[in-house]
Chains A and B, each alone.
Chain A
């Protein structure tokens, strides 16, 4: 399993034949070679075209041999940067090709171009079309806060509804409630939200201010001046020092490195922590702006969010130089390992690629809330229905009594108090009906439960509190707790059906470790490996000790061999092997100081963590890479510095799947070292040489990969003089070719990478995070589909798939790996046919429901290039269909936006909930796209965390998060919503029934204070407490039986059926509450207030008892909330009835003295609850849900038998921590 990433490889390049190429190999190998091509003017554009026409990118990265200024060479050749730099260098290691190319394929037209005059910001900005460099992420200013915040808040339809109600209530004709009382609830909600928003925005303001006021060194009138970031303009030249963050996107002009190389870390941009190389153009390298003014014109594309693409021309000194993504450094990157770099700002402020990619997280709304809104529409239809009934009846009543209205005592339309007899509060028949309608809307308003919105917020806060406080989701290694960043989608965690996971850093720790090696047919993977003693790592240099940053486990036997005498034949092979590991790579060694003045740390930086691991391993065995330039490599072999000249390099490409380096060794031989994937290496290894060794190695590789190691095969060959010369001239020809250069270069590489003798193979472990296989297995048992989307290569992805138990040997793999739309279509069709065959039924569509037909499990492995052709085309449908049949989907080499595309593929086509989990900035788009986004607060910066809804330390916490907290949250929230609907509807119906007995005039026997307090004091606390604390099942049960998670996926706690059942229940209970007293007191001398008190108490008691019946776990908090609410209600009723100015004065005291009151109350409670109770018992007994059975089992202790032998148990222990 090969593991190289595409590498940036300097290759020698010889151009022009005017003087015979100097062949330094055999004469002066210790001198660096320099190559001297003549810059051929006018080539750039043609090369550009050629580049654009070749879709395969990976081999286009051959670039820029770096000229060394060492003067020892007798023939100094210069490298034409003008030419070389024109080849777009791909730097993202994660398959950004497609985007990069589509961008660079376009010629820049004048319309699309932005013209930047270097070092001339005035001219550049004279049309004021480019953004300044100040950024603004804050939403509000003091002036705009009120209107804008209110505007945003009123996006919630419910709020508008309550606003309308409150406004209506202000009309004198309609004033049902006191004016203040009706606005209070809404005002309270608005205020709380506004305070929260102010706080958040204040923090954003602060961070904006800090960011905008950072200082950068900018050339003004030929002088460097400190300038605040926000004042930087496009066109200005900026100097960035080492470890500085770049203030804007700028084209490199020159760097401290004489060859114009700068290293940048893009961790803030795409989450990759390794160094990337950027180049300044040859034309600008030597121009120091302090001395001679640089002037020129850059014509570049309009700002866009593609961080892997840049396309521009620079006109300088009358020449036209093309610029690519390797010439631009982006805002947010950090300059590393380069003393300084000069660049000209081309995009600033909000137009930088970083900011364009930072388009804030779209606010998410939980699925449950979406469904809830559907039911709220239903409820509003009920509401309208009720109001219609009331107003129609009122109309009939008015019509019927129209002749008597003038004087009847309880209506009396005529007002005789003035001389002129007028109408009193009467606006005509039509308007009266209309007003009745509006008044009934006001009276019945709590049918739409505004308190539910507040309760939901509170419950979510409570749930978040418990999630954050969960000791089982605390990551000791990173000292990070679980974090809830979004507070409105807690309950979505209980309904996840698809998990999209990043691989590196999410499933794995993103720490490659060299595990074992097979050298010359001998397997050195002894069990007694250990972290080696420190002394072997030392390398003394001017009195200072140099030590690699990472320690590697070593095999003592191999270590002894590598240190033993050189004469031994094994030693020679071991030597070559480690030499290959140390040289055949693109690692840049960085020397960093430590607190100990005598010790310096050697940090190997590179794009490929595998290579890093290999180089660390080589260092551990005594082959320490000390220095690497484009021309030579210095390696410390057992304390002895050896210098190797780099004569040539063939970078990695996905066709060859290997890379090679041609070295001039100190012993004046020329050797080629090749490393690559086993599949590609064994085809170029000369089997006739050491057949048995090749076979041995093959066996070892097989055993390595079977334990999930990433393997690489290393081979070498000594080149003879003619061979080398032949290669050199071929190489020259190929690299000068105008057409088909990529293919030619590949051919050259293939010709030299042949007949190799095998050296051995290495096994690298990308360590899985703790508990990942168990977590994935649990997720799968729970019926969650796990998709892995990775930027890594296919082989790596597959090997991780195996080690994380995502893939099993029982699965049939479908691999889609195409380069064109047509071939994609064909593979998809083939795969679909195959999947139908394999799943045993060609005709029926296999979904989970009919899974009985599944015979063979399918795994789909698809790469980013194919996805380019599939996504956003009609092939999507087929991919979806195929993916649906597959148990596992692995997407390799996908770009960040493709990750989002894949998530969208599922999200748009199914109703299922998706969850994306990732740790790097490249996962941000996916995290934001998915219904639930989870950021791993790991090694790769904070971007993913910032964009996520939840963040945590380890992948395995997903299991408790979903199965325990998600399940609980969903169950609690689902129940709470239904209960709130029920609770308010019961109350409204009681009011409604009464309206039918008041000549349809909406008098409420229940006082207006009780109406207001009903959903605030009387019944709110218990539902919130139950929403936060109730647990249907214990944590242990939920963890042990992931299948129980299905309750959320099947929407068992909230669905249309439950809603209707709840509404039937509501109807019955309201009838019981209303009509029992009505009939019991019919014709008696009961007064309205007493009756109202009875109804108030009855409805509160019934509603709370209803809740009490559904509570699953009674803690003291639940007890106190529920019984406390009833007591609080009584106290409130008593308090209201103690006000002499209210009509109901003292009614409750008279009421409780009568036996009838208590009989009514008891009758209401029992009569009202019986249907609910009976149905509940029946359902629990004869239609038990899984949750119900598990709960019984939990109580009666036969939980252990639940599995019934059918289920593989996957207990997730809390693993011991290191």
Chain B
């Protein structure tokens, strides 16, 4: 700072002075921390990442290993062999018997709750025209029943609004599963499969289905018109559109333990048409763990990243030893390395 301003004798001139006021802020001199990547810091950082990531990776792999999952693709097999060539006709027909029986072997002991999912492949629930074709206002309250302008082409039936409107609701999944173990029926709990928040706030308890699936083209499941939307949990689950073209949706929970090698018989009503777009249908029974379902990816990724970090640590230690550069060494300054370069 210049002392010029302070020794100015006359107070009056000081008053008129445009001299900027000094503050650490205006002089860009705020106290600051200036971290520098010293070898010590770098090695510590990578080492600690490695040491943290590998255990986490192992833990999640372990957790994933403990998840027991039964996946059964049934869409192909549930077409009677005589209809195989005309699958579409078969599935679209209202007359055909669509019951299909599958037997599943439990590979390992499965502790309750066992989640029952249906998994669809190649079903683009995130397709732009599909996700947009719904009316959240209408779902929520009766007043907005006619708020269906986003619902094309499932908007109205004979000039009456469809509730719930739109392609999403229209394409409601409608296969059903009945489980039995040793001829004893396994209860599937279909309560509380949807988010509580959705039931309470998103889907109105006053809103009842209307004109649903009355059109010439039936997209999927029908709804009980006497139940408000907030209690149609299958619909609520379905309406929470999936992120990816391969997705599972919760069908119910089996609240019994299953022992290894037990044989479960599933009676499937194979109603849902995935044949028109080459989609797959799977039935999934899965236990759960702290990282969710069975997925090795994260565990492997964590171990890979942790391992890479440890590798880097070794690499850096070698480099620091082999070719050290003292930090702040002026000899490395460009003008010291090539003093002539700065002559002009």
| Residue of B277, B308, B331 with most chain A CB atoms under a 10 A cut-off | B277
CB-CB under 8 A for A1189 and B333, given A1166-B53, A1170-B305, A1198-B328? yes
- State A14–B170 Cα separation when bound (angstroms): 115
Contact call A417/B244, Cβ cutoff below 8 A? no
Contact call A404/B276, Cβ cutoff below 8 A? yes
Contact call A408/B276, Cβ cutoff below 8 A? yes
Contacting A at CB under 8 A, from B272-294, are: 273, 276-278, 290-293
Closest to B197 in A: A1146
CB-CB under 8 A for A412 and B42, given A851-B343, A1159-B56? no
Q: B141 to chain A: closest CB distance in Å?
A: 10
A410 touches which of B32, B125, B140 (Cβ 8 Å): B125
Q: Mark A1181-1202, 1 if CB is under 8 A from B, else 0.
A: 1101010011111111011011
CB-CB under 8 A for A411 and B129, given A401-B277, A1145-B202, A1170-B308? yes
CB-CB under 8 A for A409 and B157, given A1114-B32, A1142-B136, A1214-B1? no
The residues of A that contact B246 with a CB separation of less than 8 Å are 1082-1083
Q: Report the stretch among B95-103, B181-189, B216-224, B254-262 that lies at the interface.
A: B216-224
Q: Mark B42-66, 1 if CB is under 8 A from A, else 0.
A: 1001000100010010001000000
Contacting A at CB under 8 A, from B200-228, are: 201-202, 215-217, 219-220
Contact call A1206/B336, Cβ cutoff below 8 A? yes
A470 touches which of B27, B117, B342 (Cβ 8 Å): B27
- Within 8 Å of chain A (Cβ to Cβ): is B40? no
Q: B204 to chain A: closest CB distance in Å?
A: 10
Contact call B136/A1140, Cβ cutoff below 8 A? yes
The residues of B that contact A1155 with a CB separation of less than 8 Å are 290-292
Contact call B325/A424, Cβ cutoff below 8 A? no
- Within 8 Å of chain B (Cβ to Cβ): is A143? no
Contact call B215/A416, Cβ cutoff below 8 A? yes
Closest to B324 in A: A1181
The residues of A that contact B1 with a CB separation of less than 8 Å are 471, 1214
Contact call A409/B220, Cβ cutoff below 8 A? yes
CB-CB under 8 A for A410 and B124, given A1029-B28, A1189-B332? yes
Q: Mark B219-241, 1 if CB is under 8 A from A, else 0.
A: 11000000000000000000011
- Within 8 Å of chain A (Cβ to Cβ): is B250? yes
* A-B interface pairs (CB < 8 A), number: 338
Q: A1118 to chain B: closest CB distance in Å?
A: 8
Contacting A at CB under 8 A, from B299-335, are: 301-302, 305, 308-309, 312, 316, 319-320, 323, 325, 327-335
CB-CB under 8 A for A1166 and B305, given A408-B277, A1082-B295? yes
Contact call A409/B330, Cβ cutoff below 8 A? no
- State A968–B29 Cα separation when bound (angstroms): 13
CB-CB under 8 A for A1186 and B217, given A409-B171, A1087-B241? no
Q: B75 to chain A: closest CB distance in Å?
A: 14
The residues of A that contact B291 with a CB separation of less than 8 Å are 1154-1156, 1159
The residues of A that contact B312 with a CB separation of less than 8 Å are 1170, 1174
A409 touches which of B170, B243, B244 (Cβ 8 Å): B170
- Within 8 Å of chain B (Cβ to Cβ): is A805? no
- State A1164–B210 Cα separation when bound (angstroms): 45
Closest to B41 in A: A1177
B298 touches which of A848, A1087, A1156, A1214 (Cβ 8 Å): A1156
Closest to B117 in A: A1085
- Within 8 Å of chain A (Cβ to Cβ): is B9? no
Q: Report the stretch among A630-638, A823-831, A1072-1080 that lies at the interface.
A: A1072-1080
CB-CB under 8 A for A1117 and B333, given A1085-B247, A1159-B302, A1192-B36? no
- Within 8 Å of chain A (Cβ to Cβ): is B119? yes
Q: Mark A412-438, 1 if CB is under 8 A from B, else 0.
A: 101111000000110000000000000
- Within 8 Å of chain B (Cβ to Cβ): is A155? no
CB-CB under 8 A for A1081 and B243, given A469-B27, A1140-B136? yes
Q: A928 to chain B: closest CB distance in Å?
A: 26
- Within 8 Å of chain B (Cβ to Cβ): is A53? no
- Within 8 Å of chain B (Cβ to Cβ): is A118? no
- Within 8 Å of chain B (Cβ to Cβ): is A1088? yes
A1083 touches which of B60, B119, B340, B344 (Cβ 8 Å): B119
Q: A684 to chain B: closest CB distance in Å?
A: 41
Contact call A1154/B2, Cβ cutoff below 8 A? no
- Within 8 Å of chain A (Cβ to Cβ): is B12? no
Contact call B127/A1003, Cβ cutoff below 8 A? yes
Contact call A1189/B243, Cβ cutoff below 8 A? no
- Within 8 Å of chain B (Cβ to Cβ): is A887? yes
The residues of A that contact B308 with a CB separation of less than 8 Å are 1170
Q: Mark B30-41, 1 if CB is under 8 A from A, else 0.
A: 111111110100
- Within 8 Å of chain A (Cβ to Cβ): is B242? yes
| Residue of B56, B155, B291 with most chain A CB atoms under a 10 A cut-off | B291
A1043 touches which of B125, B195, B298, B333 (Cβ 8 Å): B333
- Within 8 Å of chain A (Cβ to Cβ): is B152? yes
The residues of A that contact B316 with a CB separation of less than 8 Å are 1177
Contact call A1159/B60, Cβ cutoff below 8 A? yes
Contact call A1189/B329, Cβ cutoff below 8 A? yes
The residues of B that contact A1196 with a CB separation of less than 8 Å are 327-328
CB-CB under 8 A for A1146 and B198, given A854-B343, A1140-B140, A1192-B328? yes
B30 touches which of A404, A414, A1082, A1117 (Cβ 8 Å): A1117
- Within 8 Å of chain B (Cβ to Cβ): is A256? no
Closest to B23 in A: A469
- Within 8 Å of chain A (Cβ to Cβ): is B74? no
- Within 8 Å of chain B (Cβ to Cβ): is A982? no
Q: B169 to chain A: closest CB distance in Å?
A: 11
- Within 8 Å of chain A (Cβ to Cβ): is B82? no
Q: A404 to chain B: closest CB distance in Å?
A: 5
- Within 8 Å of chain B (Cβ to Cβ): is A1113? yes
The residues of B that contact A1203 with a CB separation of less than 8 Å are 330
A481 touches which of B5, B20, B243, B290 (Cβ 8 Å): B20
- State A1116–B2 Cα separation when bound (angstroms): 27
Q: Report the stretch among A2-10, A597-605, A994-1002 that lies at the interface.
A: A994-1002
The residues of B that contact A1217 with a CB separation of less than 8 Å are 2, 4
- State A1078–B247 Cα separation when bound (angstroms): 12
CB-CB under 8 A for A425 and B152, given A887-B344, A999-B124, A1195-B34? yes
The residues of A that contact B155 with a CB separation of less than 8 Å are 417
Contact call B276/A1090, Cβ cutoff below 8 A? no
CB-CB under 8 A for A424 and B19, given A783-B344, A854-B343? no
Q: A1137 to chain B: closest CB distance in Å?
A: 9
The residues of A that contact B60 with a CB separation of less than 8 Å are 1159
The residues of B that contact A1189 with a CB separation of less than 8 Å are 328-330, 332-333
- Within 8 Å of chain A (Cβ to Cβ): is B145? no
Q: Report the stretch among A321-329, A472-480, A541-549 that lies at the interface.
A: A472-480
CB-CB under 8 A for A480 and B18, given A411-B129, A1001-B129, A1146-B198? yes
Closest to A468 in B: B20
Contact call B323/A1182, Cβ cutoff below 8 A? yes
Contact call A1112/B34, Cβ cutoff below 8 A? yes
- State A911–B282 Cα separation when bound (angstroms): 65
- State A479–B15 Cα separation when bound (angstroms): 11
The residues of B that contact A968 with a CB separation of less than 8 Å are 28
- State A1035–B5 Cα separation when bound (angstroms): 20
The residues of B that contact A425 with a CB separation of less than 8 Å are 129, 152
Show 8 A/B contacts (Cβ-Cβ < 8 Å), sorted by A: A411-B127, A479-B19, A1001-B129, A1082-B297, A1086-B242, A1163-B305, A1177-B42, A1195-B36
Name B residues whose Cβ lies closer than 8 Å to a Cβ of A: 1-5, 8, 16-22, 26-37, 39, 42, 45, 49, 53, 56, 60, 117, 119, 123-131, 134, 136-137, 140, 152-157, 167, 170-171, 195, 197-198, 201-202, 215-217, 219-220, 240-250, 273, 276-278, 290-293, 295, 297-298, 301-302, 305, 308-309, 312, 316, 319-320, 323, 325, 327-336, 339-344
Other CB < 8 Å A-B pairs besides A1087-B243, A1186-B335, 9 of them? A410-B171, A469-B26, A476-B5, A479-B19, A851-B342, A1079-B297, A1115-B31, A1140-B136, A1190-B333
